Amino acid sequence: MLERYALEKYAPRIINSNIKTRRLGYIIALVKIIGNNFLFTDDALRRLESWAEAHQKEVEEYSGKSGLITASPKHYPAKRYFHLAKDLRLIKVSRSECAVTKIGQPILYLAESLRNPFDLTNEQICYLLKRILENDSDCFLQLLRSLEKYNEIKNIFTQFKKTLLDHLEKKIEKLGDILKSSEIKRRRDKIIRWTEERKYLEHIIYPRLDWMTDLKILNISKRKEGIYEFTEEGKSFLSFLNEMEKANLENFDAWLENRYYEIFGQCFIKKEKNLLTTLNSEEHVKLISDLLEDAFRKFSSPNLPLSHMSAITFLEYSCTKLVVMGIIPSFNQLKDLLKRMAGYRFQWQPSMEDGFIIKI
DNA sequence: CTTACTATGCAAGCCTGTCG
DNA sequence: CGACAGGCTTGCATAGTAAG
């Protein structure tokens, strides 16, 4: 019998998006508002609303009105963003309090744009794109595929339901296990029962198009004219789509660990790049101990007797920092290097998809 | 177990710009 | 000018969840 957490791996990876949740900058802001505290959910929402009010000019300058958070008595755009952050596993809620997860924490320390918080930096893009792929691959990749085929939004609307269903069908077939595929089937049946196709699709398609715009996959100035055009980064990202789709049918998490950062570097980082493996062992030790020192200051809890930190937090944070520096890592290389670091104990627990690092 | 509340799925309505 | 489409907001019923 499969445990609940094991089955979760086979759930459809589709985020419950809403037409309002279109600007990823709000997600970053929300994570920062919560920070290292436990906040009452209501408090967090109210603070996000006032943050939005204070930064209204920036969002309008960046993208016009779409995705704007405005307070209204009957309608709670801040809450929609809150859910998106939850679906991306950046924040968690228990009872009426919320906090940033160990995956969300690195966001607190990624470089941010000084000019406009909605204009994301490479570090933020790298981090959020990975979160979106992890949690929304079934939808996001299919939409990329559609954009590649049909450049008119109208055509995307007319065929996306079929594209999505075909994809889910393929996934069910690939899994070939009633228990494992049950969640995907449920989702598929729900989509089949859609009565007003366009109404549901707009909650799915528009937000993702804007996420792609924020992630610099789509060209923002063209987007304002209503044209969906890939950027150079977007085009090269697209060239890996076949590989990504194939991995998505097999083991997408493993693929992300091994390939994501390399591909991100190739597509998005303009400066000269080196693979992490090309450094010599002296350079490795220096680099990793710098990263560890930095990360322990940021992520370890001061109340514990030993300095202790979640391995996944360290790995995601460090890989993002490295790739933007122009040093291309993969999870596995970094894990291997960690095992050999003197002065630290590193343990990985595959079933938890996490581990820990202790400073000895 | 019952009640109260909320998120979600669905539907409708409202602007704005376009084009005959 | 007016019909219409696309983009976006608001409204509502119900299933699901938390509180009592």
pLDDT tens for chain A, 360 residues: list them. 334 445 566 777 877 777 777 788 888 888 888 888 877 777 777 788 778 777 777 777 776 655 566 555 445 667 778 778 887 888 877 656 778 888 889 999 999 888 888 888 999 999 999 998 888 888 888 888 888 877 667 677 777 777 888 888 888 888 777 666 667 777 777 677 666 666 677 778 778 888 888 888 887 776 666 667 788 898 999 999 888 888 888 888 889 888 999 999 999 998 888 888 888 888 888 888 898 888 888 888 766 666 788 888 999 999 999 999 999 988 888 888 888 888 888 888 877 777 888 888
Task: Identify the pLDDT of residue A66.
Answer: 55
Residues 67-96 of A with CB within 7 A of strand B: 76, 79, 83
Spatial CB neighbours of A152, under 8 Å, sequence gap ≥ 6: none
* Ramachandran assignment for A95, one of left (phi > 0), alpha (psi -120 to 50 degrees), beta (any other): left
Burial A54-91 (b: 16+ CB within 10 A, else e): ebeebbeebbeebbbbeeeeeeebbbbbbbbbbbbebb
**Distance, angstroms, CA A355 to C1' C19?**
36
Q: Are A309 and A295 in contact (CB under 8 A)?
A: yes
Residues 167-196 of A with CB within 7 A of strand B: 190, 193-196
**Distance, angstroms, CA A174 to C1' B2?**
44
Q: What Cα–Cα distance (Å) separates residue A263 from each residue in A18, A29, A233, A291?
A: 29, 27, 11, 22
Task: Identify the pLDDT of residue A151.
Answer: 65
Cα separation, A212 vs A185, whole angstroms: 27
- Closest CA-bearing residue to C1' of C17: A95
Strand B contact nucleotides, protein CB < 7 Å: 7-12
Nucleic strand C near CB of residue A75 (< 7 Å): yes
DSSP A75: B
Q: What Cα–Cα distance (Å) separates residue A62 from each residue in A25, A112, A120, A205, A210?
A: 11, 15, 11, 20, 12
Task: Identify the pLDDT of residue A67.
Answer: 52
Q: What Cα–Cα distance (Å) separates residue A170 from each residue in A54, A131, A138, A175?
A: 46, 23, 11, 9
Task: Identify the pLDDT of residue A130.
Answer: 92
Nucleotide nearest to A79 (CA to C1'): B7
Task: Identify the pLDDT of residue A245.
Answer: 86
Task: Identify the pLDDT of residue A1.
Answer: 34
